Structure 1
Amino acid sequence: MGCHCKLLLAVSVGIFAIIHIVQAQPDQQGFISLDCGLPPGESPYTDPVTGLTFSSDAEFIRSGKRGEPGDTVTYIYRQYKDLRYFPDGIRNCYNLTVNKGTNYLIRAGFSYGNYDGLNVYPKFDLHVGPNMWIAVDLDNDDDREIIYMSKSNSLQICLVKTGSTIPMISTLELRPLRNDSYTTQLGPLNLIYRRAYTGNSGGFIRYPDDVFDRKWVPYNWFETNVNTTLNVTSSNPFVVPDAVSRSGISPKNVTLPLGFYMFTNHDSDKVNVYFHFAEIQTLNANDTREFDILLDGDIIHKAYSPKVLQSETKYNISPQKCGFGSCDLDLVRTQRSNLPPLINAIEAFTVLDFPYAETNPDDVAAMKNIQESYGLNIISWQGDPCVPELLKWEDLKCSYTNKSTPPRIISLDLSSHGLKGVITHAFQNLTELQKLDLSNNSLTGEVPEFLASMKSLSIINLNWNDLTGPLPKTFHDREKSGLKLTVQGNSRICADASCKVNNNQKYVLPVVASAASVLIIIAMVILILVFKKKRPTQVGCGQLIPHLQFNTCYQKVGSP
């Protein structure tokens, strides 16, 4: 068989190309659409091109500053006009509420636009929770996409500084997908090339044509274009838009395979490729279109025939590594077929390894409650508290078993952090905590008994606060089993309940109580000496009978 030309998938198409404008308005339920850097007073708004509703990101992140690209940059999408950049800290994270166990398309969009006047494209990393997603090199304005199944009801998307340039972002979008689509046996899927559809309309197809708001980019394949004006249905989980499926390509030389090739970033990358097909030509009674689908020489589907006016998706179930970082994709006509292969669209992903388990969710919830209780604004307290270890939160230590086991928080040092109010009950939810340091703050109220009930806690430093009251007996019991509690510098705290005064619950330090006792004893001795000196003789008075500590006497009955 003669050689045939391969079609390169890595064709660059800018995000500001002319797009496909549509009218319908599907439901946006579950969509998260953030215009990063948008002033809250301008939120929300409806994008005039897509009909999508975008909101300011201000409520979803604690850090960053607002910026705008240069005036010379023009935008089709309103959400690329603003941006947020992060000059402070190493890791800055968006905190999003999602549905656990839902498959999400996550898209981060970037439009640098020389907003800082430096004309240097930023380089930084993107993380999903504790795991590395992708290294971003904004040599041009672009989007990054990942398909990820959420592990909990909260999700952090983090920008991590890796060099001298400052991370920035223009838009962050989440779209829930069907859980029976885009699934792999290993990990999340990172889109390595734009979704390519084979039409020649000259623009993007996305929402509302695509109910999942995937972006489909038209490529000029230099092959035979095939089109239809008829509707193409999609009943499979991928729900390919009708606007995508109404066009396709076949090889100009009908005797040759239809071939493509693509490059991966690393030789070790494993890929999943999704081929979307629909028969959109009118076939004669004796026509047969049948072909094998090959990924880097391996047949992933044999003798396939597209369904008439119905979209269908074929893909490799097991992620596959391509030789030397280059993957060949071929549609090879079978011997019984008298028609060449036909395809409508392709998606290509690398499968990511997300090795780190998130920190124990109870520990995370406890830390967030502590953060809110005291209004702590610590720049490093973003993202996962313990992982990756190099980016863990300041002032805490974690225990690590292995990458797949959730870490636990074992030490928390909040000394000299300006804490005010009582010791919050949120601390007791850190059930593996061994050391707690709350010294040099302005904490008030009593020392809560729950601290003594935390079995793992062996060191508690409460020095130099304004705590009051007696220490519960449970602390003394725990001290016998090794608990080390220090309360130095709390002038209104005492060792036990004996320092209560009546029902007013007023307390003094034991040393103060001891000093007061000494003064009372001295005063009593002085009074006794004074009264003894002034006491009258027994002349004219019968036997004296002391009464109620007063120096008076009563004459015995019958005395003269």
Structure 2
Amino acid sequence: MDIHLLLLVIVFSASSISAQVFISIDCGASDSYTDGNSIPWSGDKDFFQDGVTQVVQSSNSMSHVMDTLRVFTARKKNCYSINAEKGGQILVRASFYYGNYDKKSSPPSFDLQFDGNHWTTVVTSSTELVFYEAVYIVKGDTTSVCVAQTKPDQFPFISALEFRSLGIHMYNQVDSNYAMFTKNRVSYGSNASVRFPDDAYDRIWGPGVAGNGLIDVSSDAIFIETTKAPDEPPEPVMKNAITTSSSSAYISLGSNSPVVSIYILMYFSEVIQLDSTQKRSFTFYENNQSLSDPIIPPYVDVFELYYKDNSTNSSSSNTFSLRPTTDSTLPPLINAIEVYLVSDALTDGTDSNDVTGLSSLQTGLVDLQQWSGDPCLPSPFSWEWISCNTDASPRVTALHLSSFGLSGPLPDFSSMDALETIDMHNNSLSGPIPDFLGTLPNLKQLNLADNKFSGDIPTSLSNNNNLKLVITGNPDLCTAGKSCETTDTTPTSSEFPVTPSSGRSTGKKKKSNKLPAILGGTIPSVFVIWAIAGYSYVLNSRRKRAAVVATGANGMHNRPNGTPPQGTKFNVNIEEQVNVEINVDPDDQQEQQNQYNATNI
């Protein structure tokens, strides 16, 4: 088991950094407002056009923020995405309040995800608010939070979503390739929650009222310096604490499950100015082993200690406690604690080349802009119109975009060089077929049938014997090297029926007045030469005869009856929370000393 412990005697100075991202989304709402905590909220209409807005039953109203929600009845996953600083640290809080909005008294469960990673399985309640927090380093220029349906007829929803930037120096004992999921955050001795504006980062510190032999105490300091601590606990949190009534008693902090990596931060500040006869000294224990030097809380300052256990293979749970040293005249105390569960290693997401290409597609084809979040991850919650391989950073191997109502020219997505299949038939795509399609090295199938493409077919496609190319139903297309002519919509005897492509059901046959390109390519040139010579001879003979007739008619002008025969016109037609209980063991009352429980870690 790999244990890390650090006592942070703070000697440096740091000022609180105002958050770069401070976004509060009231899901399902359309208005903007500021709540009683001076937090500005906005509705989610600028983030989401899909889903259904709902309102909780009036009898279940909890707060303005929780009265509305957005429900998603389509797609494998639905995501909110915001711009964020790459490499920045962010806290995300997702809240869910069912409130019997559908009058079915059946709160659903579903998955919660962020940036292509599984976060937790949300289990909602008929009467209670449920929220989850994650802290992580953003790997791209955006970050996304998604809800995903996992059970039939249990539609995911979300009530509120909050994004808060954290200082990059905070929580830096956890590797940046891992996320932290909040298990508990407690302000001991407080009788109300503490959050923004008292906490500049808007962490929510729940009240921890004394019980089980513990007593609440308050600091007599006028001011407590908290910004020197790396993780910057807010001053109101450090104004209160819990302790025991006996200097020989110890405080039990609870126990953790052996199957999860845990990260604990503890904050200490002396509540009174001690005289020379008083000493408060204690140590941090895991089971019966001391893991720290004596802790002596400073007055008007903060002492921070952290514990991180990376082991997930232990056969039994661990218990944590604060125990007085033999020379201490005062019992242990603790002001606040944060407990996080550490995730598995985070994914790097879908390959950046494919993300770039998909972004180009969405920019050029607005109907695709409804999809957001990581395209391929987590499996099996990829976007409905793509297929991905199983690489650690998945590659997109197919685009399934038939009958999507797409229109306009095809944008450049040439960076998607792992594509094997592209199916875009039965849309209204127009303009020339892009040359880059012929440069995709792994492309095996390309179906562009039944669109409005025009111009020449790139030779990189027409000459590719390894490519199955389908381009029927594009009447304005020409073969490479031949000039294109405007489609004549007037039916003539030269029209030929064209069989619709297999990817589209039209209900009737389409007709085109263009002949297959193969016809023009098989007429021998000698016939053309003889035809020209013959035509010239006939024309010359007629001109001579017309001249004789005119002379013999004493100046009267006569024309031959009828008009010269017209040449037949030929055109071309080419055919997808680790919710581990970490509880205090009620039977873990040790006999060797008096023990008092502080919290459920």
* 1:444–1:121 Cα change, 3 Å: closer
Match of 1:46 among 18, 23, 34: 34
Structure 1 residue 253 corresponds to structure 2 residue 246: yes
Q: Secondary structure at the match of 2:58?
A: coil
The Cα shift of 1:419 comes to 2.2
Q: List aligned pairs for 1:518-557, cutoff 5 A.
A: 525=534, 528=537
Change (3 A) 1:339 1:199: same
The answer to which of 276-285 and 457-466 deviates more is: 457-466
Task: Indicate how the Cα distance of structure 1 residues 530 and 92 shifts in structure 2: closer, same or farther if over 3 A, else same.
Answer: closer
Aligned twin of 1:543: none
- Which deviates the most, 523-532 or 62-71? 523-532
Change (3 A) 1:435 1:323: closer
Match of 1:510 in 2: 517
Higher mean Cα deviation, 233-242 or 483-492? 483-492
Amino acid at match of 2:187: Y
Structure 1 window deviating more from structure 2 (341-350 vs 489-498): it is: 489-498
- Structure of greater relative contact order (alpha carbons < 8 Å, 6+ residues apart): 2
- Go from structure 1 to structure 2 and tell me whether the alpha carbon gap of 1:92 and 1:73 turns closer, same or farther (over 3 Å shift): same
- 2:229 is aligned with 1:240: no
Match of 1:87 in 2: 73
- Displacement of 1:375 after TM fit? 2.3
The aligned counterpart of 2:433 is 447
Q: Is the 8 A contact 2:261 2:308 kept in 1?
A: no
Q: AA paired with 2:233?
A: V
Counterpart contact for 2:47–2:81, Cα < 8 Å: yes
Is it true that 1:151 corresponds to 2:144 in the alignment? no
Match runs of 1:30-429 below 5 Å: 30-39=21-30, 42-43=31-32, 45-47=33-35, 49-75=36-62, 77-139=63-125, 140-163=128-151, 164-183=153-172, 184-185=174-175, 187-193=178-184, 195-200=185-190, 202-222=191-211, 223-229=214-220, 230-234=222-226, 235-262=228-255, 264=257, 267-321=258-312, 326-377=317-368, 381-401=371-391, 405-425=392-412, 427-429=413-415
Counterpart of 2:483, as a letter, is C
Q: Which runs of 5+ in 2 are unaligned?
A: 1-15, 486-513, 546-601
C-alpha deviation, 1:323, in angstroms: 6.3
Deviation at 1:328, TM superposition (A): 1.9
Equivalent-residue separation in structure 2 for 1:418 and 1:338 (angstroms): 78
1:487 maps to which residue? 471
Of 481, 490, 493, which residue of structure 2 is paired with 1:497? 481
Q: For 1:246, give the aligned amino acid.
A: K
> How far did 1:337 drift?
2.0
2:453 to 452, 455, 467: 467
TM-score, structure 1 as length reference: 0.80
**2:123 partner letter:** D
Alpha carbons of 1:418 and 1:28: their partners in 2 closer, same or farther (altered >3 Å)?
same
Q: Which amino acid aligns with 2:331?
A: P
Give the conservation status (yes or no) of the 8 Å contact 1:28–1:52: no
- Quote the RMSD (CA, aligned, Å): 3.1
- How many Å separate the matches in 1 of 2:543 and 2:104? 97
Q: Which amino acid aligns with 1:188?
A: A
Give the letter for the 1:311 counterpart.
Answer: V
* One-letter identity of the residue aligned with 2:242: I
Change beyond 3 A, Cα 1:155–1:205: same
Q: Flag structure 1 segments of 5+ consecutive residues without an equivalent.
A: 1-24, 502-506, 537-560
Return closer, same or farther for 1:260/1:510 CA change in 2, 3 Å cut-off.
same
Q: Does the CA-based 8 Å contact 1:493-1:508 persist in structure 2?
A: no
CA distance in 2, matches of 1:240, 1:511: 78
How many residues align structurally? 492
Name the aligned partner's letter for residue 450 of structure 2: W
Amino acid at match of 1:157: V
Equivalent in the alignment of 1:547? none
CA deviation vs aligned residue, 1:433-456 (integer Å, no higher than 9, x gap): 233222232222222222223333
Which position in structure 1 is the counterpart of 2:7? none
- Partner secondary structure for residue 351 of structure 1: strand
CA contact 2:195–2:202 (8 Å) conserved in 1: yes
Query: CA-to-partner distance for each residue in 1:114-157, whole Å, 9 max, x for gaps?
Result: 11111222211111122111111123212211111111111111
User: 2: CA distance between counterparts of 1:486 and 1:143?
Assistant: 50
Deviations 1:1-29 (A, max 9, x none): xxxxxxxxxxxxxxxxxxxxxxxx99564
How far 1:197 sits from its partner (Å)?
A: 1.2
- CA distance in 2: counterparts of 1:231 and 1:520, whole angstroms: 104
Contact 1:110 1:170 in 2 (8 A): yes
**Contact 1:33–1:54 under 8 Å retained in 2:** yes
With 246-255 and 181-190 compared, the bigger mean Cα shift is at 181-190
Structure-2 separation of matches of 1:416 and 1:519: 44
**Cα separation, 2, equivalents of 1:280 and 1:107:** 32
Deviations 1:47-82 (A, max 9, x none): 1x110111111222342111111212343x532222
Change (3 A) 1:353 1:26: closer
